[in-house]
Chain A
Amino acid sequence: MGAATDVRRAPAPGVRRGAAGGGELAGFWKLVRGAVRQNRVRLIIWVLAVPGVTVPAISSYSSIFETRAGAQARAAIMATPTGSVFGGPGYGLDNYDIGASVANELLLWLNLTVALAGILLVIHMTRREEETGRLELVGAAAVGRRAPLAAALAVTGAEVVLIGLAMGLGCMVYPELDKGDCLAFGLIIAVTGLAFSGVGALAAQLASTARAAGGLAAAVLGVAFLLRAVGDTAQVQGDSAWASWLSPLGWANQTRVFVDLRWWPVLLTLAFAAAFGLAAWLLAARRDEGSGLLATRPGPARAPKGLLSPSGLVWRRTKNSLFGWGGGALVMCLAMGPAIGSMGGYLENNPAMAQMLGVDPAAGLDAMVEGFSGVIVLYSAMLVGAYVITQIGTLRADEFAGLTARCLAEPVARGRLLGATEITVGVSALLGMSVAGLGYFAVVATDSSVGPDVAPAIAGSVLRALPALIATVALASFLTAGFPRLAALSWAPFAYAFIHMLVGNILGLPDWARFFSQFTAVPLAPNTDFEWAPAVGVLAVSALLFYAAHRRFATRDLLA
Chain B
Amino acid sequence: MSQTVDAIATQGLRKSFGQVKALDGLDLTVAQGEIAGFLGPNGAGKSTTIRLLLGLIRADKDSGPARVLGQDPWRDAVELHKRLAYVPGDVSLWPTLTGGETIDYLGSLRGGLDATKRDALIERFELDPTRKNRTYSKGNRQKVALVAALAADAELYLFDEPTSGLDPLMEAVFTGCLSEIKAAGATVLLSSHILAEVEKTCDTVTIIRAGRAVESGTLADMRHLTRSQVEVVLRGPAAALARVSGVHNLQVSDAVRASFACDNAALEAVMAELVELGIESLTCTPPSLEELFLSHYSVPAAAPSQLAAGPDRHGAGRRSDSESGPAPAQPASGSDQNASERHSSSGANAPAVASNEEA
Contacts and interface: CB of A to CB of B under 8 A. Distances in A.
Interface of A: 208-209, 211, 296, 298-304, 307-310, 312-313, 316-317, 401-403, 405-413, 555, 557-558
19 contacts: A208-B135, A209-B134, A298-B131, A299-B101, A300-B101, A303-B97, A303-B100, A303-B101, A303-B105, A308-B105, A308-B112, A313-B94, A316-B96, A409-B81, A410-B110, A411-B81, A557-B56, A557-B58, A558-B57
Contacts of B106: 406-407, 410
B173 interface: no
Contacts of A408: 54-56, 77, 81
A172 B325 CA distance: 71
A304 B104 CA distance: 9
A372 to B, nearest CB: 39
Interface string B96-136: 11101111111011111000000000000000111110110
A299 B132 contact: yes
Contacts of A313: 94, 105
Contacts, number: 111
Given A300-B130, A301-B129, A408-B56, A317 B96 contact: yes
Given A405-B56, A409-B56, A411-B110, A298 B105 contact: no
B100 A411 contact: no
B100 A403 contact: no
A554 B283 CA distance: 61
B109 A310 contact: yes
A317 B132 CA distance: 14
B130 A301 contact: yes
Contacts of A557: 56-58
Interface of B: 51, 54-58, 77-82, 84, 86, 88, 90-98, 100-106, 108-112, 128-132, 134-135, 145
Contacts of B135: 208, 296
A409 B86 contact: yes
Contacts of B109: 310, 407, 410-412
A308 B108 contact: yes
B78 A412 contact: yes
Nearest to B115: A302
A309 B107 CA distance: 10
A293 to B, nearest CB: 14
A401 B92 CA distance: 6
B57 A411 contact: no
Contact of A302 (B82, B95, B100, B145): B100
Contact of A402 (B55, B88, B104): B88
A303 B108 contact: yes
Given A307-B101, A409-B86, A411-B78, 15 more contacts: A211-B95, A298-B128, A301-B129, A302-B129, A303-B104, A303-B108, A307-B105, A307-B108, A308-B104, A312-B105, A313-B105, A401-B92, A407-B109, A409-B56, A410-B81
B98 A300 contact: yes
Contacts of B134: 209, 296
A392 B250 CA distance: 64
Contacts of A316: 96-97
A80 B132 CA distance: 46
Contact of B79 (A208, A402, A411): A411
Nearest to B58: A557
Nearest to B84: A409
Nearest to A304: B101
Q: Choose among A296, A298, A299 the residue with the greatest number of B CB atoms under 10 Å from its CB.
A: A299
